């Protein structure tokens, strides 16, 4: 199975929105992060969880071996709705998304024993790697803002 850092470094290199200098800085950060030998999903979010009598995590095509702290960061998506979506819908979805992420993170930290800082240190490389994916322009801008804030 492919290593998490290999995939992330490749995706960061493919993020055309970033200069070579910024890519190098982010990859340097990535290389200093702890490796892991855990099975990671690579795209873990509520749409990939089926809840019922039994619970299932689906869509494992991005599965990898790595540090689960890096996988947790993926839950903090910067997804946006289309501009034409009603304002009330946007606000309600943002509120629900924030609340779900907060509850999940609190539970994850409690069960894993990890401090938030262990997860937060993965935010920069995960955000940069996400730029290589097909995502809306507004989400790209949010990621670029986060990267600029963290790189400076």
CATH code of 9's domain? 3.90.1200
Residues 6 or more apart from 29 whose CB is under 8 A from it?
121, 124, 125
- Residues 41-71 pLDDT 10s: 998 877 888 999 999 999 999 999 999 999 9
Is 0.85 topped by the overall pTM? yes
CA neighbor of 65 nearest in space, from 131, 114, 7 = 7
Q: How many Å from the N-terminal Cα to the C-terminal Cα in the chain?
A: 34
Q: What's the total number of domains in the chain? A: 1
């Amino acid at each position: 199975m492919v290593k998490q850092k290999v995939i992330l470094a490749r995706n960061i290199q493919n993020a055309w929105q970033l200069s070579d200098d910024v890519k190098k800085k982010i990859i340097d950060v990535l290389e200093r992060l702890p490796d892991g030998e855990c099975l990671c999903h690579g795209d873990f979010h509520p749409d990939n969880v089926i809840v019922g009598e039994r619970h299932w995590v689906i869509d494992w095509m991005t599965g990898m071996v790595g540090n689960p702290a890096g996988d947790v960061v993926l839950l903090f998506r910067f997804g946006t709705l289309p501009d034409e979506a009603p304002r009330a819908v946007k606000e309600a979805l943002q509120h629900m998304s924030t609340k779900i992420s907060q509850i999940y993170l609190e539970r994850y930290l409690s069960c894993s024993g990890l401090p938030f800082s262990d997860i937060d240190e993965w935010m920069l490389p995960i955000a940069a790697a996400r730029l290589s994916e097909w995502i809306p322009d507004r989400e790209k801008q949010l990621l670029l803002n986060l990267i600029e804030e963290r790189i400076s």
